Structure formats: structure tokens, C-alpha cells
Homo-oligomer: A and B are copies of this chain.
Amino acid sequence: MVVKVYGPLYGSPKRVLVCLVEKEVDFETVSIDVLKGEHKHPDFLKLQLASDSHYNTFARWFLNITNHGEATEAQEESRAIIRYDAEKYKSQGTNLLGKTIEERGLVEQWLEVEAHNFHPPSYNMVLHILFASVLGFPSDPKIIQESEEKLGKVLDRRASTWPVISSALLILATFRSLNTWWLIWGGSI
């Protein structure tokens, strides 16, 4: 049984790749070049269960588990997949969900904070700092400044409550941030 990850190798799919590495799961990648419109090819679209691939494309991608070449399971939405992988492979690799229901509750809380407080301003920063010229619209310094302030608030609050949970438990929630740090500061992960 081979885990296949469909999508570009950046953006949301990167979260799943990091999760699979942490869980010590072998996987293959199937590159989908969204800049060439490959995400709209019928062969890719027919794999999709739920999403509307015509908007918010970077959040759309696939984990497809095959058996003898046939799709036996397919899942989309990166945060759903990292939760699934963390649960399915909980007996191996890094513990990402905590040891108790309460610890998992805190991980879930941080995943939500990432999605709704961290992601929107960080996405805006990536868009306006890195992609404005590529995508052909003017970079807006006001949006960058406001986004930076929002991001600072989230991180300040988060840092102040970090002792509540161990750093290991934060890994799953942090997967959601990796791509942003990577894009903004050009680091290697």
C-alpha cells in the first residue's frame, strides 16, 4: 500500500509531507503544477471528492492511498489529512496528538487558531510581499503592515500560553505555519 500525495510541493501539501515524515510513513508525490493549470485536468479533478477546485486552489490537493494501483481511499483538505495521518499512524513516529483527550483538545484548539487567526494575515503577507508582481497586482504596504500587526498579536498570545502544552504537541499545529515561514524568510525546512 502506497500513500500518494497529489499537489504542488509547496503550500498546503507541504504540511502533509512534513506530517508523513514525522510519522515515518513512506510516500510518493505526484506533482500537480497549478501555475500550468494541471489542477483543472480531468484526471486530477476526478480524484476530488468535495472541493471546488476553481477557487482557493492552493488549499486543494489529495492524499490517495492505493492498493494494487487502485484508489482505495482518497482524502482532501490538508488539515483533515494531517489529523487523519496523526491518528492512523499514532503508534509510530512522533506523537502529534498528545497522550490524553485533553491534550488533543489543546492541539485542536491551536489548529483552529492557526487556521483562523494565523493563516489569513500570514497568507496576505506572502501574497503581497512575494507574489504581487508575479500575479500582476500592486503590493499594498497597508495590508502588509496590518497583517504583520495581526500576526504579532497571535504569536504574542500564543507564546504566553505555550507552557500549557509541550513543544512536541505543538508540532501538528505548527505544520500549518511552516509554509509561511519558508516563503517569507526563504529558509529551508
Chain A residues packing against B (C-beta within 8 Å):
49-52, 55-56, 59, 73, 75-77, 79-81, 83-84, 87-88, 101-102, 104-106, 108-113, 115-117, 150, 153-154, 157-158, 161, 164
Contact = CB atoms under 8 A, between A and B. Distances in A.
A50 B162 CA distance: 10
> How many copies make up the complex?
2
Given A79-B112, A80-B109, A104-B84, A153 B52 contact: yes
Nearest to A56: B116
Give the residue among A50, A84, A87, A110 with the most B Cβ atoms within 10 A: A50
B87 A49 contact: no
Contact of A109 (B77, B101, B150): B77
B116 A59 contact: yes
The main secondary structure of chain A at its interface with chain B is helix
A81 B83 CA distance: 15
Contacts of A55: 150
Give the residue among A59, A105, A111, A116 with the most B Cβ atoms within 10 A: A105
A188 to B, nearest CB: 28
B80 A111 contact: yes
